Structures are given as C-alpha cells and as structure tokens.
Chain A
Amino acid sequence: MLKETQSYPKYAPGTYVSNKDIINKNITYTWWEPEVQYSWSLGPAYSRFLQELKEGRIIGRTCKKCNRVLIPPRMFCEYCYRPTDDWIYLKDTGTIETYSISYLDPNAQRIKDPILIGVISIDGASPQHGIMHYFGEMKPNEIFIGMKVKAIWKPKKERTGSITDIKYFIPIKGGEKI
C-alpha cells in the first residue's frame, strides 16, 4: 500500500465569521425579503378530501389492483401506476404509528409545555396508511406506539375545509364506544 506521510485534506480554506461580526457590522451584507405567494391547484383528490373534512368526515381512495385503501386520497396509485378506482369513507379513529414530544414550536423556538405530534394510521385504510396530526388530552408519559385514538373535530362553523378541521387526536378509553 502507498504510505503517504501527508494528511489530506492538507489544509482547510475558508473564513469563519460569527453572528457577532454581523451584529457589530464588521462585515458587509445585503438583506432581502422575498415576496412570493402561491396558489396551488388542489386537484380532484385533495379537493374532495378537504370538502369532506369540512363536513366532519375522512375520505380515502381505493386501488383495486394492489387492494390498498389510500389516505391521503390520490388520483393514481403510485405503486401500480394506474388511476385509483373509488371513493370510500373511513373512520375518524386510528392507531398511533409513531410520535414525538416536541419542546420546539414550529419556528424552532423553545416552549415549556411540549407539543405532541405523530402519525396515525386511520381505521378503514390499509395498514400503516395514515396522516400526521397533533395529539391532545394526554400527557407525555401516557403516549405510546400502538395506542388507539380518535379525532376531535372543531365545531362545524369553525371548519374551513382544511386538515386543521380536526383539532387533534385523543386516546380512546377502554370500553369506549366508537
């Protein structure tokens, strides 16, 4: 084996500057605030999905070839690569597939009371097919993977046709009728 005595990379070019250099104006910079707005087409699948959420229902799509029930619903099955077949109403209950207890808020700022967030596989859809959402009315030491949960909806007049029409998911207590 070639035995090189020199260590690579031989040097590390680059000039380190810190936040203080910017605050104290030791270096020059240009500040820019872009103004960009978007209007995304929903497409037929999300359009119906949001309409149903406003009515307090969760809807999915079926693919007859791979026999999956898809949530969030989509116009084509990405595995079979063909259009999906039918609409199907799903329950608003599910199982926690994974979760996190976050001490950071959406802007990466620290918070004292943690946010509970996770993925819920929805009853009626294929296994491990679900959505991301918040959890509520439970403590951080109570949450676990495999917990059965149900959606708590906002009151009808507050629903706008958005994933946030569901407020959060809460544990189903033993023996509770769903």
Chain B
Amino acid sequence: MTFFEKQTDPTTPMHWYGNMQADYLYLSGVAGDKFFKHIIKNDTFLATKCPKCNKTFFPPRIYCEDCFLEIPHSDWIEIPAKGKVELFTIATVDTYGIKLEKPKVVCMINIDETDGTLLGIIKTDDLEEEFRGIHVEAVFKSKNKREGTLKDILYFKKIE
C-alpha cells in the first residue's frame, strides 16, 4: 500500500519546482487616481470627509465605510503632508531575511487633520531617538520625477 512504502533511495524525485508567472498593474481607483494626480503637482495630501459622521479618511475614499454613503467631490479637502508618529519599529533585515546595510525606521504616521495613518520611513542617523509622538513631514521626489505612485514620497523627516 503506497502510504506505507518507504522511499529509501535518495535519488527518487521528491519535488517539482515552479514559479508564479504573472505581473500586476494596479489602477489607483477613482479616489486613488485623484489623490496621486494631486501629489504629482503638489506637496500636500488630499483626504475625504464623510458628510454624515465627519470621519476624515486618509488615504481618501469615495465612500464612508460606516455610514455607507458616497462622499461627494465637494467633501475632498487639502491637508499638509505632515503627521505624528503613532507606532514605530526599527527594521534590521529585509523581506527575505537578509541583513540591511543600514537599519530602517518604519512608522505608522497619523496624518494631521485626518483619522487615517500612512506607513512611512523616517530618514535619520540617530536610532536611539524616541520616535513615538514626534512630528514629521513628507519629503517628495522633485516634481519632474513624480509618477503618481506611493514612491513619489521619498521618506519622512522630523520637523524641528
């Protein structure tokens, strides 16, 4: 019976190898497209505010998930690209477990004037600093290099 047959020959084939071949093009969506087109030209962010419960969404959305109402164009607001660090960690290895040349400070930043947060990297040489609670602002790529993706935000830096 196959279940109880032992495989004692190390040259018997044990595995089959393959990979997942597919690439992805993610459209930003109705809300995302408006947001990214804005940061191509400006150094500020956009957010949306629900007309009923006043919750301010960042990243912006076309609907409020609680009231389940559509947020009209008139409720889009422009806000500075600044925030306060809620949580942080210092990453010493990359996605594959390989040691980074220089550790990265990765934070959840609560964007000012909104109820939302953004994942960002703080560029700093001082790793001993207490990052929680500090105020930071976004540093963007130069305008002619922006493409309309999250990478247009290079990193965040502490506001002195």
CB within 8 Å of B: which residues of A?
A: 15, 17, 22, 25, 27-42, 44-48, 50-51, 61, 75, 83-85, 161
CB within 8 Å of A: which residues of B?
A: 1-3, 5, 7, 12-20, 22-28, 30, 32-33, 36-37, 40, 147-150
A82's nearest neighbour on chain B, judged by CB, is B1
Q: Is A34's CB under 8 angstroms from B22's CB?
A: yes
CA distance A86 to B64 in the complex (A): 62
Q: Is B7's CB under 8 angstroms from A47's CB?
A: yes
Contact of B19 among A22, A25, A37, A44 (CB under 8 A): A37
Given A17-B27, A28-B36: A50 touches B19 (CB 8 Å cut-off): no
Give the distance to chain B from A147, nearest Cβ to Cβ, in Å: 31
Contacts of A35 in B (CB 8 A): 19
Contacts of B36 in A (CB 8 A): 28
- Majority SS at the chain B contact face: mixed
Given A37-B19, A44-B7, A45-B2: A22 touches B30 (CB 8 Å cut-off): no
Give the distance to chain A from B60, nearest Cβ to Cβ, in Å: 13
Give the distance to chain A from B40, nearest Cβ to Cβ, in Å: 8
Give the distance to chain A from B135, nearest Cβ to Cβ, in Å: 28
Give the most central of B2, B25, B27: most A CB within 10 Å. B2
Give the distance to chain A from B17, nearest Cβ to Cβ, in Å: 6
CA distance A61 to B5 in the complex (A): 14
Contacts of B23 in A (CB 8 A): 31-34
Contact of A29 among B13, B27, B30, B40 (CB under 8 A): B27
Give the distance to chain A from B46, nearest Cβ to Cβ, in Å: 13
Give the distance to chain B from A86, nearest Cβ to Cβ, in Å: 9
- 9 A-B pairs with least C-beta separation: A28-B148, A28-B36, A36-B20, A75-B2, A32-B24, A28-B28, A44-B2, A39-B15, A30-B26
Q: Is A29's CB under 8 angstroms from B3's CB?
A: no
